[in-house]
Structure 1
Amino acid sequence: MEVDYYKILQVDRSAKEDDLKKAYRKLAMKWHPDKNPNNKKDAEAKFKEISEAYDVLSDPQKRAIYDQYGEVGLKCQAPPPGPDDFAGGGSEFRFHPRNADDIFSEFFGFSSPFGDGSRAGPSGFPRGMFGEDIFASLRGGSGSAGDGSASVPRKAPPIERTLPCSLEVLYKGTTKKMRISRDVIDSYGRPSSVEELLTIEIRPGWKKGTKITFPEKGNEHRGIIPSDLVFIIDEKPHGTFKRDGNDLVTTQKISLVEALTGCTVQLTTIDGRDLTVPINSIVSPTYEEVVKGEGMPIPKDPSTKGNLRIKFNIKFPTRLTSEQKTVIKRLFTSS
């Protein structure tokens, strides 16, 4: 679902800089994770969402791109892959989200409740800002601020992106090259941008929802373990076949005569072979012809495949003459 940054910040699309700052201050104070110790996971997600919205809308260039192309155009900086995108070649995928704590620090002079700024109380925030009892609970009831538990770096949440694949790609498998650009911290603690080429191996038989994870390929920030970059397989619709688990399902139109007397189905398989299937049974509206081993590869053993299931759409005549009705009655009565 497309993210609406204006809705997240609770401002209208004509909001000025002062409106954005006012909205961010209010929401960031409300949803900072350290102010919500009993609901920290949800608060952290909301806090990052608010920070990302402010980052985009407060930057004229990012805001212009977002207003024209939406979140996908802003983050991917390229149109979504076309039907033949996996045939080879690379496409750009860039993401440069600013760190939520850095944005918070620009407004309030600190980013962590365990900072040691001169204006801060024992927790790192100005005294009385959120209440010292909250930060005491963050340090743990039995430990102390110096026990090291508070300095354990947290890991940024994963960055997930959908990877649309055709049924042909999921049948055969392929290798996809994806170029990414991310921020890293050098030995002097300074951020710099680097480009990397990721190799995504799509294996035969993979299903929709399969995840490919590249550990810690997100932007680097001091004190935070980078996000994992996760690609999630999606399946594009196919003109002939539908997937049902490891089976492939297709529907063929036949006449009533063919349904009663037999016919031959001609198909082109996913991998381009011509397949001839004789239908010798009487075809009822619920009948399925099953062709063993002509379905999708099974991921754990790609040499083994599911089945091809052929369903039928029987075309009945719109009218019959009296003579035809008499002949049909005679045929079925005699049988």
Structure 2
Amino acid sequence: MSWGYYETLEINRNATDADIKKAYRRLALKFHPSKNREAGSTERFFALGEAYDVLSDLRKKATYDKFGEEGLKSGVPAEFGSGGAWSSKYVYHGNPDKTFRLFFGGDNPFADFYTQASQLQLSRLQPEVVKTQDAPIERDLNLSLEDLFHGCTKKIKISRRVMDEDGHTSSIKDKILTIEVKPGWTEGTRIIFSKEGDQGPNCIPADIVLIVRQKSHPLFMRQHNDLIYKTSISLEMALTGFSVDVQTLDGRLLSVPVNDVVHPTYEKMLTGEGMPLSQDPSQRGNLIIAFDVQFPVKLSSKSKHLIKQALGLQDN
């Protein structure tokens, strides 16, 4: 069967070099005898090799375009010579596999295809590894009452296992975690650093969770957003009035007058002098002053008499 070279590659005569290569790649893979057992595929594969051998060579292609296949194979006046020289007769080497191997660059042109197919089949046989995440790693973050009142920045160093680039070995590396403490945070606040735990080939790193723990303070106790300040006073002060000085967490000195009689459950509340609210630090809780009244260990008869007179308990 006689095939025109352009028709063989299913392209037109205006095809570029890239078009010729693309066409040969597609058709040679389609009609290669090892892939196509249909009748006529071997002859078609041979014709494809000869067509590509001619059209991919600039001189052969020019001769074929002007004089056709007969002129190419019979020899014609050379287009690129001088002195009436004639071109040599073109004879195809007759080995389409050689053309195929030269085009694809290997002795086994289908190696890549077989390798990919084998890898795909192997991957289907292997069970899929489902990665699970390790349980969170919880650590205490100890903060002073001043830290929680003003807010601050804390940095902690952790050491964790990190996978190397090969994906199989690992090493221990340090990392600094930065915590922006917000004013008003409370005991138990949780700060989560996602997937900062140890890395492994078949696991998702655990989250690192820092839990706020409030240190004790020498002057104040905290009750939600309120601050409680407890002071000792004498029985005389409790009955006659006094003034108490309180040094606040932001450095101010409050002088608080107490003119009421201080009984065992009495408290003095200062609105807006407590801890900032974490949702809105411009708002604050209260400062509650509690009193511990110190009673005398014993009284003389005269003192008892005078107290009775003062309290109106003396019999007339």
Identify whether the pair has TM-score above 0.5, normalized to the shorter chain: yes
Q: Which of residues 154, 159, 169 in structure 2 aligns to 1:181? A: 159
- Alignment identity in percent? 45
SS in 1 for 2:222: strand
Structure 1 runs not aligned, ≥5 long: 1-144
User: Which digits, 9 at most, give the CA deviation of each residue in 1:174-208, with x for residues without a partner?
Assistant: 10112222222233213133332211111111111
Q: Which of residues 264, 277, 282 in structure 1 aligns to 2:243? A: 264
TM-score, length of structure 1 as denominator length: 0.54
Amino acid at match of 1:167: L
Cα drift, residue 147 of structure 1: 11
Amino acid at match of 2:178: T
Structure 2 runs not aligned, ≥5 long: 1-123
Alignment of 1:159-238 (within 5 A): 159-189=137-167, 190-238=169-217
Equivalent residue number for residue 259 of structure 2: 280
Q: Which of residues 136, 143, 150 in structure 2 aligns to 1:158? A: 136
Cα drift, residue 152 of structure 1: 2.3
CA distance in 1, matches of 2:224, 2:190: 17
CA distance in 1, matches of 2:126, 2:240: 84
Assess, with a 3 A threshold, how the Cα gap between structure 1 residues 320 and 193 changes in structure 2: closer, same or farther: closer
Cα drift, residue 290 of structure 1: 0.4
Cα drift, residue 223 of structure 1: 1.3
Q: Which of residues 259, 276, 279 in structure 2 aligns to 1:300? A: 279
Q: Give the number of equivalent residue pairs.
A: 190
User: Which digits, 9 at most, give the CA deviation of each residue in 1:27-63, with x for residues without a partner?
Assistant: xxxxxxxxxxxxxxxxxxxxxxxxxxxxxxxxxxxxx
SS in 2 for 1:151: coil
Q: Which has the larger radius of gyration?
A: 2
SS in 1 for 2:312: helix
User: Which digits, 9 at most, give the CA deviation of each residue in 1:204-242, with x for residues without a partner?
Assistant: 111111111100001110110001011111011111111
Q: Residue 315 in 1 paired to residue 301 in 2?
A: no
Amino acid at match of 1:186: D
Amino acid at match of 2:153: T
Cα drift, residue 146 of structure 1: 7.2
CA distance in 1, matches of 2:224, 2:256: 22
CA distance in 2, matches of 1:327, 1:180: 69
Assess, with a 3 A threshold, how the Cα gap between structure 1 residues 277 and 147 changes in structure 2: closer, same or farther: farther
CA distance in 1, matches of 2:239, 2:165: 78
Equivalent residue number for residue 324 of structure 1: 303
Equivalent residue number for residue 243 of structure 1: 222
CA distance in 2, matches of 1:197, 1:238: 28
- Point out the more displaced range, 322-331 or 225-234: 322-331
Root mean square deviation of aligned Cα: 2.0
Amino acid at match of 1:288: E
Cα drift, residue 322 of structure 1: 2.3
CA distance in 1, matches of 2:304, 2:147: 50
SS in 2 for 1:221: coil
Q: Please identify runs of 4+ aligned residues in structure 1 that moved more than 3 A.
A: 145-148
Amino acid at match of 1:183: R
CA distance in 2, matches of 1:186, 1:152: 21
CA distance in 1, matches of 2:125, 2:254: 72
CA distance in 1, matches of 2:185, 2:233: 33
CA distance in 2, matches of 1:272, 1:161: 31
Equivalent residue number for residue 234 of structure 2: 255
Amino acid at match of 1:282: V
Alignment of 1:35-184 (within 5 A): 151-184=129-162
